[in-house]
Amino acid sequence: MPEYRPIPAKRKREYEEFLHYAFRPEDGPKSDEDDDDKPELGDRRGLFDGDDLRCVCKHHWFTTHIRGEWHEMAGLSAVASPPESRRRGLVQQLLADSLAEYRENEVYFSALWPFSYEFYRKYGWGTVNKYTKYETTPDALALDTEPAGEFRRLDADEWELLQSVFDAHSQKYALSIDRTEDWWRRRVFEGWKKDPYVYAWTKEGENDARGYVVYTIEENDDGDGKRLKIWEMAYVDDEAYRHLLRFVQYHDSQVETVELSHEPEDTGLLDMVDNPRDVDCEIGTGPMFRLVDVPRALESISYPDEVEGTLVLRITDPLAEWNDGTFELDTDDIVLCDRTDDDPDVTLDVNTLSQLVAGYYSVADAERFDACAVESDDARARLDSLFPKRDVFLREGF
């Protein structure tokens, strides 16, 4: 069986060649000119057959908000294998070994952005939020907002000015990330292919930012004109949001199209503009999430104070044998979750349990989509009380 281990720095180029072929094969073989000497975020892992590298991935280590508290979460990315290594079960082993590493490090939650939802669903991850994508014209964003305050372009050394805006905008969403300085510098102020513009809006006479927008300007896909593509927009209130839209509208002499590519699931912009038919609005599915260690994850999160007693859960997990079985969750004085031989109150897979824990599904959703079986009204009410639905939005790309 291939060995799972870190990929050493001296084999970074080989790792990058795997990613290049997996995600950008249309560009042709990777050339020396594509080499990037910038420091990386995350830890490289691979499966080795002797000294031969067979498939790769990367782990990011986040602190994220789950059920009102901060928890460690692993971000799995850059899963890739060359064609000669495919259809041999290697990626499945890579995923299983990754979960084992997370568990050993006492990281009980994992997230990823899938190339295929079907592929990762069969290994236990579940969709955890939807997002809104808007496409419109600058003129459609003319909201008659009275000019006020100041717009200022920022560089990476000024990242701290945006932290409070990001926190205020993200605090209502489960799975929001506690961003590090490295993340701000490498993933906000730097882009995958080119660096974006970052502008902040401040009120008159104030130094603290009230909102910011991160965007690039590029050719439209059809080659007809230019597009202002907003990668991230955050604001502390509706006033700041309207001023950011005003700033975008001021590009009407430069671009024909405006794209807000990744907003929380909402259609409010349609109600703000004069003519909603001038705005194309699309709802898409975002990242996926799973519990790494079911009993330890359920013991680590917080529950409403008024919910006490026990609930027996029958969990199926196709990848982590330590999660596959029947567990009794006791939320009395000390929260405990242990294996039991009792008959289950609820039967569900690890995907659905993960969605309930994150807050993406309510119990009614899970039953509606035939994703769980509940044995009684009492069990249903208790499960619903333990895992009330939340607004979830994991915005980070990794």
Segments in the chain below pLDDT 70: 32-37
List, in sequence order, every residue forming a beta bridge with 71; answer none if it has no partner: 64
Give the CA radius of gyration of the chain.
23
Distance from C-alpha of 145 to C-alpha of 165, rounded to nearest angstrom? 21
Closest-CA residue to 234 (of 173, 286, 171, 170): 170
Summarised one tens digit per residue, pLDDT across range 255-307 is 999 999 989 999 999 999 999 999 999 999 999 999 999 999 999 999 998 88
Contact 79, 114 (CB under 8 A): no
Question: What is the per-residue pLDDT for 36?
Answer: 64
Q: What is the pLDDT of residue 22?
A: 87
Strands (E), 172-298: 197-202, 209-219, 226-235, 257-264, 280-285, 288-291
Q: Is 68 left (phi over 0), alpha (psi -120 to 50) or beta?
A: left
Task: Please give the CATH architecture assigned to the domain spanning 3-107.
Answer: 3-Layer(aba) Sandwich (3.40)
Do the beta carbons of residue 261 and residue 82 sit within 8 Å? no
Which candidate, 84, 74, 27, 19, places its Cα nearest to that of 52? 84
Closest CA to 90 of 18, 8, 14: 18
Place of tokens 């996926």: 288
- The fold of the 293-386 domain, in CATH, is Nonspecific Lipid-transfer Protein; Chain A (3.30.1050)
- Listed in order, the ranges of the chain carrying CATH 3.40.630.30 are 3-107, 131-285
H/E element, 346: strand 346-349
Q: So what's the pLDDT on residue 34?
A: 61
Residue 378 three-state SS = helix
> Which amino acid is located at 29 in the chain?
P
Do residues 7 and 43 lie in contact, with contact meaning Cβ atoms separated by under 8 Å? no
Query: What is the per-residue pLDDT for 280?
Result: 97
- Look at residue 24 in the predicted model and tell me its pLDDT: 85
Specify the pLDDT at position 72: 98
Q: How many beta carbons lie within 10 A of that of residue 284, not counting itself? A: 11
| Per-residue model confidence (pLDDT) at position 33 | 62
Output the six-digit token pair for 340: 């039991």
**Delimiting residues of CATH 3.30.1050.10 domain(s) in the chain:** 293-386
State the pLDDT at residue 207: 87
Sheet holding 150-153, edge to edge: 150-153, 197-202, 209-219, 226-235, 257-264, 130-136, 280-285
CB atoms within 10 A of CB 276: 15
CATH architecture of the domain covering 131-285: 3-Layer(aba) Sandwich (3.40)
* Residues ≥6 apart with Cβ < 8 Å to 224: 256
pLDDT at 193: 81
Torsion region of 397: left, alpha or beta (phi above 0 gives left; psi -120 to 50 gives alpha): beta
